[in-house]
Each structure stands twice: as structure tokens, then as C-alpha cells.
Structure 1
Amino acid sequence: MEERKLDAQESIELITRMIRNTRRRLEHNAGRPFLVWGYTTVAISLFNYLMRINGADPEWSLSWFLIPALGVVLMRLFPAKKSTEPRTEIDRIVNALWLVCSLALIPIFVICLFHGWLYRTSLFMMIALTMAIGTAATGLIVRSKVYAVSGLLGMALSTLFAFNDFAMKSRFASQAVPGQEGFVALHNEILIFAAIFVVMMIIPGHIINYQNRRETK
């Protein structure tokens, strides 16, 4: 039996329905991953900041690897509730987008490592910018204001790394080796990194959870 071809109006309605279903399914569970990854990233960032300003050994920097480890464990401990919305082609596109963003972190880390930038602004900036691009693109694809706005804010805030780097170079340009004040200021990029994830994930996560609770009631 030959399938009937959709006309232009029907095609638009089908695409719109797919986008709406994907947005509802994503926002139904989005608060959980946003909060899990947001709080985990901020907690490990603040831990590293405190370790550095107190002169901890460089080995403590390996604690950054706790972010993916803890994130995966917490996601397993608090599984998502099954959504009644069916999966669509838009879901595949969004999943592919986040797969690419996640894989992009590997060359970013390797490049920074071999160029001696592992603990400098470049790594934090590129990770924050990549995650912000993925969040903003997801919001624009599924037409979610929460995703789009939080992602765009994250992209805008990533420019703070450049301003901080410029301020540091101007402030301590005359010092061959920065003093204690200089070393503390050098770690401000960690606070910027944490602040971006607060704006980009934690606050939107609570907003989405509030919206979902209100809709449920």
C-alpha cells in the first residue's frame, strides 16, 4: 500500500508537533540533570579554589575528574521519570548535538594539556563556552526559552575569562613572580567558571522544576 505524501501544511504541523513533544519531554526531566551537573561542577570548582589559595599540592587538581564520576553516579542514583511524550527525530538531533559537544571536550583538554595551559583560563573558558553553545542550541531547536536564555547567558559570561586575563596581565605585568596576592588572583577563573554554571544550569534547573510542579498541580 502506497503511503500518502504530506502536503506543506501537514509537514509543518508534523514538525511543530515533534518539536513540542521533544520540548515537553526534555523539560519534564531537565531540572534533574541541570541540578546534578550544575551543583557537582560548582562544588568541585569551589573545592579546587580553596585548595589552591591555601597552597595545596598540585595533585589535588586531579579532583576535577570527580565531576564526570560524581555526575554519572548521581544520575544513576536519581533516575529520570519516564515521560509520556514519544521520542521523535528532534530527540535524535538534540542527542547528536550533545554527543558532539561532549566529544569536543576531549581535544580541548588534550590541547590545553600539551600546551601547558591545563590550569589556565583557556581550559575553563573553552569548556564553559562549549557547554553554553550546546545549551543554547538545544533551546533554539526545541524552542525552549529556559534552555535558550541560560545558554546565551553562559556564552556571554564566558567573555569574563578574557577580561580577567587582561586585568591580571595589567596588574602583575611588572612582577616576574607574583606574590601571594597575585597567586590568589590567578585563580579567579575558577570562581568565574563556577558562576557560569550557577547561571547556566543551577538557576534554570530550579526554574524548570518549579514550572513542572506547577503544571502537575
Structure 2
Amino acid sequence: MEEKKLSERESLELISQMIHSTRKNLEVGSGNQFLYWGYFTTALSVLLFLLVYYTGDARWNFGWFTMFLFWGFMLWEQRRQVAEVITYTDRAIMQVWKVIGSLFVLTVLIMCLLTFYYGRVDFSLMFPLSLLYCGIGVSITGVVIRSRLVTWCPLVAFCFAIYMLMAYTIHQSSTVDWNLYFGLSFLVMMVLPGHYLNRKARQVC
């Protein structure tokens, strides 16, 4: 069979259609992953802040591990709601977030191993690392779907992550306020882009 060569214009149109399809899947496809993760994380951060602040018991911070349960729920939802068309860019975004998810799992596993080895470990380091991991994932997603707002919204998260890491270098321990910084970061990094993408989707549909 003779292969049909696409002209430059046809190639650009094909790429545009793929990006448009990916945007639609991301925006409306499975209820918008950004909004699910953004609202859940923001609500959890406020809840844990209140529990730690009013009880004085830092053990409430272990509630952050419920994010792994939420992650499992989201994976189950994704398998139940499969997009009609999966483009190359869809797969690229899925692979990016698969790597990001692997980083989370790897980081927690290493921290747990170090806990057994040293007898103690500071899990608050997950705050800046999580902001960096998710921020990179969101920014790459924004680049793929050609959305400047999605690409640059994680800057707030990056700023808080740098502040937290700098606090470690000058031997300052984490505070209960870090929960709120974390929630605010997700509010700007995921909830804002999520609503923006849904609004754009409604205009197109």
C-alpha cells in the first residue's frame, strides 16, 4: 500500500485536532482530574491544619497518607470511564503522570526504609517534594495542550517548595502552617486551571 504524504498544512491540522481532542478528554472526559485532585488536597490540608492546630497533636499529619487511597479511587474511576479516542498526546500526558506517581511511591518507600535504618525520619519533607513533583506534571501538561495558564500556574507551588527546602538548610523545622501553604498551592496549581479548562471546553462544545 502506498503511503500518503501529508502536506505541511495537513500535518498542522492533524496536530491541532490531536491537541483539541486531548484538551477535551482532559477538560470534560473524566470529570477533570485537576479539579478532583485540587479540591481534595485543599480540603484535606485545611482539615489537617485544624486538627493539628487545635489538638496540638502532630500525629494527625499522618492523615496525608489518605491521598494514596484517593489515588487508588481515581485510578479505578479512570478505568471505568475510558475516553472514546486516545491520541498520542493523551498517552504522553498519561505517561508523564505515571512517572510523577512513581516518584511519589518511590519517595515514600525510601523514607520508610530510612525510618527503619535511622530510627526516625521527617516526613514533612514530602511537602516541598510533592509540590515540585505535581508542579512539574502540571506544567508539562500545560505545554502539551498549549495552555499558558496551566503551564505557569505551578509557579506558586514552586515558590512555596523552595521556601520549605530553604527552611531545612537553615535548620528550621516545619510548622503547622505548611499544611495551609500546601493547600493554597494546590488551589492555584490545579483548581484554577481546572475551572479554566472546563470553561474553555464549554465554549468549544
Report the TM-score when normalising by structure 2: 0.77
Separation in structure 2 between the aligned mates of residue 71 and residue 119 of structure 1, nearest angstrom: 19
Within 5 Å, which residues of 2 pair with 1:1-217? 1-29=1-29, 32-53=32-53, 54-56=55-57, 58=59, 60-70=60-70, 72-73=72-73, 86-113=85-112, 114=114, 116-120=120-124, 122-165=125-168, 169=172, 186-216=175-205
Quick check: 2:30–2:81 contact (8 Å CA) kept in 1? no
Does structure 1 retain, via aligned residues, the 8 Å contact 2:153–2:189? yes
Measure how far apart 1:8 and its partner are: 4.8
Post-superposition Cα deviations, 1:51-83, rounded to whole Å, max 9, x if no partner, equal: 22322362x333222223245547867999876
TM-superposed deviation, 1:142: 1.7
Aligned equivalents of 2:199, 2:92: Cα separation in 1: 27
User: 1:215–1:167: structure 2 CA closer, same or farther, 3 Å change rule?
Assistant: farther
Partners of 2:45 and 2:81 in 1: how far apart?
29
In structure 1, stretches of 5+ residues that fail to align are 170-182
Per mean C-alpha deviation after superposition, the further-off stretch among 18-27 and 91-100 is 18-27
Structure (1 or 2) with the larger CA radius of gyration: 1
1:130-155 per-residue CA deviation (whole Å, 9 max, x = no partner) reads 00100000110121233212234433
Q: Distance in 2 between matches of 1:119 and 1:48?
A: 15
Is contact 2:26–2:33 with CA below 8 Å preserved after alignment?
A: no
- TM-superposed CA distance for 1:33, in Å, is 1.9
The C-alpha deviation readout for 1:75-99, integer Å capped at 9, x for no partner, is 8679998767x32111111111110
Q: Percent identity?
A: 28
Matched residue type, 1:151? P
Question: Against the structure 1 CA distance between its residues 146 and 63, is the aligned structure 2 distance closer, same or farther, given a 3 Å change threshold?
Answer: same
Q: Distance in 2 between matches of 1:3 and 1:63?
A: 56
Shift of 1:165: 4.8
In the aligned structure 2, how far is the partner of 1:101 from the partner of 1:76? 18
Aligned residues: 199
Q: Which amino acid aligns with 1:137?
A: I
**Aligned residue type for 1:21:** S
Structure 1 residue 164 displacement after superposition: 4.9
1:163-198 CA-partner distances (Å, limit 9, x unpaired): 5556873xxxxxxxxxxxxx8x72222221111111
TM-score, length-scaled by structure 1: 0.73
Moved more, 42-51 or 72-81: 72-81
